Amino acid sequence: MLTLEGFCKLRRELDAQPSGFLDSRIRRFQSFAEISTEPGPHFGLGLEAYATWTSPIRKYGDMINHRLLKAVIKGEAIARPQEDITQQMAERRRLNRMAERDVGDWLYARFLNDKAGQIPFRGRNY
């Protein structure tokens, strides 16, 4: 499972399982995307190299990728992004995810607060 090929094999086996239990457990422990100046695999998609971008006004990393793609298409020299910038972007992304999780937890608690003890909820404990 430490290689792209091994992970793809595992994904095929999990997709054939009738229950999503193992799949949900593995996804929980997968790491978040890494921001790097070196091409790297996307294990979930089974790709050896992967880059992501959306509108360049949303995130600085997207703007960097747009600039790099534009330079490649035009046949221009490519300036490698600075390593400290990618580290800073990764840290900000981590903090953003933590804030999103905290807000989500707060919203769940707020919504369910007046329902506690009144409505039976079903769930799974893994």
The predicted-structure confidence for 21-56, as pLDDT tens digits, reads as follows 877 777 777 667 778 888 888 877 778 888 877 776
Q: In terms of C-beta distances under 8 Å and separation of at least 24 residues, what long-range contacts does 41-48 make, across chains too?
A: 41/4, 43/4, 43/7, 43/8, 44/11, 46/4, 46/7, 46/8, 46/11, 47/4, 48/4
**Rounded to two decimals, what is the model's pTM?**
0.59
| Residues whose CB falls within 8 Å of the CB of residue 36, separated by 6 or more in sequence, listed in order | 86
State the sign of the Cα–Cα–Cα–Cα dihedral 61, 88, 49, 47. negative
Closest CA to 97 of 109, 89, 85: 89
Closest CA to 67 of 78, 57, 75: 78
Which regions of the chain does DSSP assign to beta strands (E)? none
pLDDT band (50, 70, 90) for residue 109: very high
Mean pLDDT of the residues in the chain = 84
Distance from C-alpha of 51 to C-alpha of 36, rounded to nearest angstrom: 10
